A and B are shown apart, each in its own frame.
Chain A
Amino acid sequence: MGPDSAPGPAVPWQKVLWEHQPFPDNYVDERFLEELRRNVGIRQYQYWAVVKEAGFVGQQLSCVAIFITLWLYMEQGLLPPELLLLTSLVCALLGYGLHQALKSQVESSCEPRTYMADLQSASIFLSFTFGFSPVLKTLTESVSTDTVYAMSAVMLLAHLVAFPYAQPSPPGSLSLNAALFASVCLASRLPGALHTFTMLSCALLVFALWPCLLKRLRANAPRQFTGVCVGVCLGGVGGLGSQSPAGAVLLALALGGVTLLCPLLLVRLQRHKDNIHGPWDEAEIHEDISRFLQ
């Protein structure tokens, strides 16, 4: 049958190719596109639920701001490294305790890391950082300060962009590495070797350990998690405000945009969503195929 031959008789059209049907090849039946589905499995968002989730992004932004504030204080000599070191130690111990406490509630089934192992990795890390801090201090001496700042800014941005906000895992390697790179750059501009060591320990605390604790908090105590996020945001804005009011205003605007405006946009634009699905879609494999290889 070619296109546009005689109009078909009263036989119903079938969506099959194996039968030679009395219809032209370009025949369009009423059933054309009947299997078209719109917006299958669409998620309806609630504004405040999205705001809560976005708060996590906001607090990570504030973490970076807090880190920069600390660095500013150190660089101007307003904050003695010993004090920061002591505070960090206390925070780390408190956080560790909290981490352990939250762990015992849920994941008792899988093999826990021993205290000994934790202590071992902490001491390895600290001793190496301490040993290498004189080297790290002079690492970027031959590089101009502007370059170092620019590099740090780019790397901190990369940290924020690559941070795994969605999946509950420790910070991804790209985001963690970018943040540590930025902290090494910044720390090398500080006046002394102890300053450098302090700054790097602080960076580990903020960029590596804090997200781990936060992830656990999010899983086990969602209500407190929201409070912590708000607290960190306020802390970030306040801290930055004491050094640079303009920076604090910018940060507050960014936080407002990320946590309030973007969710509003997402919820508002949702009704314009129009996804089409049909038999032509590539099937997805939902099963875990890798189980056959384990």
Chain B
Amino acid sequence: MGQRRRVAAVNNLSSQHISGSPAEVVGDSSRKHNICMVSDFFYPNMGGVESHIYQLSQCLIEKGHKVVIATHAYGRRKGIRYLTNGLKVYYLPLQVMYNQSTATTCFHSLPLLRCVFVRERITVVHAHSSFSAMAHDALFHAKTMGLNTVFTDHSLFGFADVSSVLTNKLLTVSLCDTNHIVCVSYTSKENTVLRAVLNPEIVSVIPNAVDPTDFTPDPSQRPNDRITIVVISRLVYRKGIDLLGGIIPELCLKHPDLHFLIGGEGPKRIVLEEVREKYQLHDRVRLLGALEHKDVRGVLVQGHIFLNTSLTEAFCMAIVEGASCGLQVVSTRVGGIPEVLPDDLITLCEPTVRSLCAGLEEVIARQRSGSVSSPASIHARVQKLYTWRNVAERTEKVYDRVAGEEVLPLDRRLRRLRSHCGPVAGSIFAFVAVIDFLFLLLLQWLLPDRVMDVAVDATGPHGQWRQDTSKTRSHSKCAMKQAAKTEMFL
């Protein structure tokens, strides 16, 4: 019933907006923003979200924006760190609860985040990943403080079980007054719009990207006497490792020259080890364990075919990386994967052992007959498809649009929460929003914004980070030292 209402609401919103008001005036494109990226997931953690935040930040810095990143402390990595090109990262001392996601009470992160937002003169808060509690906290506080908000959703979610019902409700609350949402594929957009009951007009689709210079083909690394299938993925259920465990014996029995090269670690490794043991495939199935990002290319170029067996995927950077290294890509047809690569670069299969085996057989046959395009030509095609510069340009336009929008004042925010999130959850979170606002007033009374030091800009229009001449470097070094001194408070 709730879901019917949900779909109806979404349809209504979309039809209203398509027929209704024309596109509003986009803000001045030369305008520079002070952006704070917030997510629980950042280096030293590795993954799609982490590299997305890093690469996007670097490209935005290149375009002259000021970017800082806020994440939680990882072990002894806490306080402020500077990365390449003066990208400042705040590792805030917040308690981690589960899977690198912080615990949330809705309030306790406000003092720290307020410090960051005020000292850095942030204008746009950009939160990443719906699994990150810190991202949702930051959105909540940013709205209380009257800042513009953008959210990027990197994952897909179902509707059927209790946990997704709960998380979808929380997402509805979190996104109902967020200015703009970014999704990484059209499927992801449909999913997010349904989950959070959003107007689809405020959801943009901006795909992920890969750095094509990192993933170049090198056919000389391939042994000629065999065909190698490469799999690089975390070895977990959602990545379909059970399917892989079925594919390996089927194909290895048929093709004596077939080898598997599997990179990644996880709880499903035991499945692969059992298969290898049972069928005596130790010399043909190599499990490489966890790979560092820089080693991935070295593994990819050794293979002819890249196999992805995921059961759900919003975008799937791995297949783009595989194709960029000139491999034939075979993948399951799930989530946003069919949108990512053109049909002649990918073989899509149903998520069953039989279908995947059939797809692989077909590609193996093509490989043997030599009727596949050369790695270099595949690379040439893929390298232009997804670039971080393009992602940054499109994200910049989102910021320009958002900067021109108003942030809902408290009374309208409360009304929106109650009308949009249902009477119970809406009222509860309206109450939480009021408490958050009062807490902010208390903090502002204890330590007014005007007495707070302004942080030294490393990036942005007045960025102090210079590496061209020795003179400016020493100058900027001084500035950095000073900055580091003033920022020891964390």
Which residues of A pack against B, CB within 8 Å? 1-5, 7, 15-18, 24-26, 28, 32-33, 35-36, 272, 274-287, 289, 292-293
Contacts and interface: CB of A to CB of B under 8 A. Distances in A.
A276 B10 contact: no
A3 B3 CA distance: 28
B335 A280 contact: yes
Interface string B175-209: 00000100001111011011000001111111100
B269 interface: no
A274 B4 contact: yes
Contact of B311 (A18, A283, A293): A283
B156 A280 contact: yes
A293 B275 contact: yes
B410 interface: no
Contacts of B354: 287
B157 A18 contact: no
A233 B200 CA distance: 56
Interface in B1-34: 1-4, 6-7, 10-11, 14, 17-18, 23-24, 26
Contact of A2 (B340, B386, B401): B401
A276 B245 contact: no
A3 B397 contact: yes
Contact of A278 (B190, B245, B398, B401): B190
Given A274-B2, A276-B194, 10 more contacts: A15-B186, A25-B205, A28-B200, A32-B200, A33-B11, A275-B160, A282-B158, A282-B311, A283-B332, A286-B352
Interface in B37-73: none
Contacts of A279: 187, 190, 334-336, 338
Contacts, number: 152
B178 to A, nearest CB: 14
What's the interface size class on B, roughly? 35 or more
B362 interface: no
Contacts of B23: 4-5, 7, 24
Which 4 pairs across A and B sit closest by C-beta, in order of nearness? A2-B397, A4-B23, A25-B204, A283-B351
B78 interface: no
A292 B357 CA distance: 14
B204 A26 contact: yes
B312 A280 contact: yes
B311 A292 contact: no
Interface string B330-355: 00101110111110000000011110
A288 to B, nearest CB: 9
Given A17-B185, A25-B398, A272-B1, A287 B352 contact: yes
Interface in B295-330: 311-312, 315
A3 B401 contact: yes
